[in-house]
Structure 1
Amino acid sequence: MDHEKVNILLVDDQPAKLLAYEVILKDLGENLVIASSGREALEVLLKTEIAVILVDVCMPELDGFELAAMIREHPRFQKTAMIFISAIQVSDIDRLRGYEMGAVDYVPVPVVPEVLRAKIRVFSELYRKTRELERLNQELEDRVRARTAELENSTAKLRESEERRSLAIAAGKMGSWDWDWISGDWMWDEGQYRIFGVTPERFEVNPANVQALLHPDDVDQLRKAIAEFNKGTRAYETEFRTVRPDGEVRWCVGTAAATVDENGRVVRVSGVTVDITERKRAEERQNLLAREVDHRAKNALALAQSIVRLTRADEVKAYVNAVEGRINALARVHTILSLSSWQGAELSKLIDEELAPYSLGGQIRLAGPEVQLLPATAQTLALALHELFTNSAKYGALSTRSGRLTIGWQAEDDLLTLIWEESGGPLVGIPKSRGFGTRSLLASVESQLGGQALFDWRAEGLLCRLEVPLTRKTAAAPAAASKFDAAPSEALQRASG
């Protein structure tokens, strides 16, 4: 598969071992960078972007532990994956020390080529996906900056207009006013009344009534402005909030200028008020978007790292396939969510995406209404469905042509109920132990979503019921276990395997 090559740094003081690592890792198609000492490795790191570091624990001058500590001290390399190779028996204390220094894994000598390749491949792919997420994040940040620049440019033009203080502009979201400092009389134009949400017929303009329309936290702004003019200030500008009679809060920017007599005393203050509520809301949306992008990127990386660390398999190929399958399931649901601008995902689309790799024709029947899932619920449920499909394809109804699978769902009272029913496949027995797939399914549905997952290991095929809250406020704790409506003969057993 074509992909951008990443740099793998091999560190060992023995040329023969370095040559052996090169031969083992050559088929990965990555760039292999050689360093014969810890100091040489540090020089390479400062000049080259490295995805994974393979380092020998025992080296003269600067051993693997010391090198790892120095690498982790540099901000650029705090997330770089490091794998230690040890030719001696490593104690638990040494392992803990290695992990504290920043190692992500150990490889004993003699090195098993397949194991070493698999580990390097996994961390290389994780590095590539991390960089891809960073690029996407950067693109989004660039867009936010561009829009912010447009907004700032628009604000600058608006301020220029305010400085001209054209009292003739009374339409739209601008208003003008005039205050006779001596008599206390006020004059508002139509735009000013509109901003404050009042009418000339029902509102008398005076200091007490104007103050009553200001947000309590911004009343001091009015007092401060009056104090500044009394001190000799000739112009004043501030942002404040108004509270309309119907309770709506609006953001405004006000500019005011004083007129003085021949003795320098203030006799009149005139000003312009501009409603900037939409601008404020746009700024809040942009800030929220930036925080969400950062949060999503961190969550995706954390989930991918958890998958890599927790997946177990008896063979290297099975391990790699399991990790790739789970990460691909996560990538598929991210694609669906991105198309909806992260507003949510339809359950039927999640199921279709998981069905796509199997091409099983008439073996599967789906039945259920359109159900919109929150982004967090969609991500978690997609991984749970992936585990069910994967297990069925390996051991259940989807492993044979005679097997049948029915998936039905319904939503009622903010609770999604999904029934997974297999038949016609190999005889089914209750598993003796829990695998990662079952454990992750239970943990995700019950702990993360506050739902429940119940299994009935029937001889003719697995019957599974997932109950998932559709709103965040209901996802607190799993409800009490109940019997299947579709299985009146016995209560469901919670998964033990």
Structure 2
Amino acid sequence: MPSADPTYASDWDLTHLRAAIEAAGVGLWRWNVESDHIGLDRRAMELWDLAGATVTTFRELSAKIHPTDLDRVRAAFAATRAIVGGYEIDFRILSGDDIRWVSARGQGNDADIEHGVMRGIFLDVTRRKQAEESHQLLAGEMSHRVQNLLLVACGLARITSRSSETTEDMALDLTQRLMALGRAHDLVRPRGGRPVEAVLMGDLLAVLLQAYDEDDPASSRIRVSVPRMDLNEGAATTLALVIHELSTNSLKHGALSVPAGTLDLSCDAPDEEVVLVWAEHGGPTATQPAPGAGYGGDLIERSMMHQFGGGIAYEWAPEGLVVTLRMRRDRMAA
């Protein structure tokens, strides 16, 4: 029912409509289907980075569409006149060194066409698309982590079964191993918003790898020999992620996957660079995996570069994998 307020009818005049469009960041376009000329308002010109060009053509706009999306956009626009109802097409455009996501919307099937001119809007949806990409990346990373945790649990159960005589012993031993991984996580997890205190690198490595070792000290197959060195919060967290990733892969494919396999971690720490060497022995023959699989994942390489300003190198020796981690000392110090 219409409002009795006498100002109600005038609340939706052209001035208010323009103000609403401006506040929403909407760019307007009109397309002459006969001449192929596309008219743009000021907001649309800014979005497409077209200084002063109030009229253009689809060919000229195509020069700014991301090459990966161009064929899809061309096909979509060619089909818009046959689409019944509203349509929406999302694509990327190039603006200098920036990439923007644009959503083009309008009515198909020549709805509301006047004098051969169709109308619609452009919206800048860059932030929404970036958020979607971040969520997809996070979901993929979480899926990878969950799969790895399940594989770690299976591998630890296999290790535990070799030294357990009863199911009760195995359950207790496996619980202790899983708790050891939890303690390693606690070493680098902030508590109540407080920063993590300095962590000794030797303590961190020992706790992280304790779950993968044998119970019998005489048959210990993981040896850690590193100098006393404090790690700051960022360095401890990143190193824990890298070691966990290497351990998981070794448990699946390397020395930790077989009873006879051994692992040595040693460290050389000259003045400016810290070199940590992960050396496996006695496992399956080390073979380089396909890009993006197994050892050498993007996570490790990104972590080593961004956190430590260093790098990682792999040697796929027949007797076992050797991984060399190089880290700047000033990026590690507490």
When normalised by structure 1's length, the TM-score is 0.37
Residue in 1 that maps onto 2:151: 302
Residue in 1 that maps onto 2:89: 239
Residue in 2 that maps onto 1:474: 313
> Separation in 2 of the partners of 1:227 and 1:319?
65
Is 1:255 matched up with 2:117?
no
Distance 1:182 1:334, change over 3 A: same
> Separation in 2 of the partners of 1:287 and 1:337?
26
Residue in 2 that maps onto 1:225: 77
Residue in 1 that maps onto 2:243: 378
One of 217, 225, 228 as aligned partner of 1:366: 228
> Separation in 1 of the partners of 2:177 and 2:197?
20
Q: Which amino acid aligns with 2:134?
A: R
Contact 1:333 1:378 (8 Å CA) reproduced: no
Residue in 2 that maps onto 1:330: 181
> Separation in 1 of the partners of 2:125 and 2:105?
13
Please give the secondary structure, in 2, of the residue aligned with 1:293.
helix
Q: RCO greater where, 1 or 2, for CA within 8 Å and sep 6 or more?
A: 2
> Separation in 1 of the partners of 2:37 and 2:164?
88
Q: Which amino acid aligns with 1:377?
A: V
> Separation in 1 of the partners of 2:120 and 2:186?
51
> Separation in 2 of the partners of 1:307 and 1:322?
10
Please give the secondary structure, in 1, of the residue aligned with 2:138.
helix
> Separation in 2 of the partners of 1:295 and 1:218?
33
> Separation in 1 of the partners of 2:60 and 2:134?
33
> Separation in 2 of the partners of 1:167 and 1:235?
24
> Separation in 1 of the partners of 2:204 and 2:323?
31
Contact 2:27 2:41 (8 Å CA) reproduced: yes
Residue in 1 that maps onto 2:327: none
> Separation in 2 of the partners of 1:250 and 1:476?
42
Superposed, which structure 2 residues align to 1:266-285 within 5 Å?
Answer: 266-285=115-134
Distance 1:366 1:227, change over 3 A: closer
One of 289, 292, 299 as aligned partner of 2:141: 292
Q: Which has the larger radius of gyration?
A: 1
Contact 2:277 2:322 (8 Å CA) reproduced: no
Cα displacement string for residues 184-231 of structure 1 (whole angstroms, at most 9, x for unaligned residues): 554322321232233226x862222112122333345345434543x5
Residue in 1 that maps onto 2:276: 417
Distance 1:236 1:412, change over 3 A: farther
Q: Which runs of 5+ in 1 are unaligned?
A: 1-165, 357-363, 384-406, 420-437, 451-468, 482-497
Contact 1:173 1:195 (8 Å CA) reproduced: no
Distance 1:226 1:417, change over 3 A: closer
| Pairwise CA distance, 1:412 | 8.9
Size of the aligned set, in residue pairs, is 237
> Separation in 1 of the partners of 2:271 and 2:197?
16
Cα displacement string for residues 311-340 of structure 1 (whole angstroms, at most 9, x for unaligned residues): 344876986765444322222234456659
> Separation in 2 of the partners of 1:411 and 1:167?
66
When normalised by structure 2's length, the TM-score is 0.52
Residue in 1 that maps onto 2:48: 196
> Separation in 1 of the partners of 2:134 and 2:122?
24
Is 1:213 matched up with 2:67?
no
Q: Which runs of 5+ in 2 are unaligned?
A: 1-16, 208-225, 249-265, 288-293, 297-302, 306-310, 325-334
> Separation in 2 of the partners of 1:176 and 1:246?
22
Contact 2:87 2:106 (8 Å CA) reproduced: yes
Contact 1:225 1:236 (8 Å CA) reproduced: no
| Pairwise CA distance, 1:351 | 4.9
> Separation in 2 of the partners of 1:411 and 1:189?
63
Contact 1:174 1:191 (8 Å CA) reproduced: yes
Contact 1:167 1:272 (8 Å CA) reproduced: no
Please give the secondary structure, in 2, of the residue aligned with 1:327.
helix
Q: Which amino acid aligns with 2:29?
A: W
Q: Which amino acid aligns with 1:417?
A: L
Superposed, which structure 2 residues align to 1:133-152 within 5 Å?
Answer: none
Q: Which amino acid aligns with 2:60?
A: N
Contact 2:76 2:89 (8 Å CA) reproduced: no
Contact 1:333 1:382 (8 Å CA) reproduced: no
> Separation in 1 of the partners of 2:66 and 2:137?
24
| % identical aligned pairs | 20
> Separation in 1 of the partners of 2:164 and 2:78?
79
Please give the secondary structure, in 2, of the residue aligned with 1:205.
strand
Please give the secondary structure, in 2, of the residue aligned with 1:287.
helix
Cα displacement string for residues 222-276 of structure 1 (whole angstroms, at most 9, x for unaligned residues): 45434543x5x67542223233242433222211245445xxxx52221111122
| Pairwise CA distance, 1:167 | 5.6
Cα displacement string for residues 118-158 of structure 1 (whole angstroms, at most 9, x for unaligned residues): xxxxxxxxxxxxxxxxxxxxxxxxxxxxxxxxxxxxxxxxx
Contact 1:367 1:408 (8 Å CA) reproduced: no
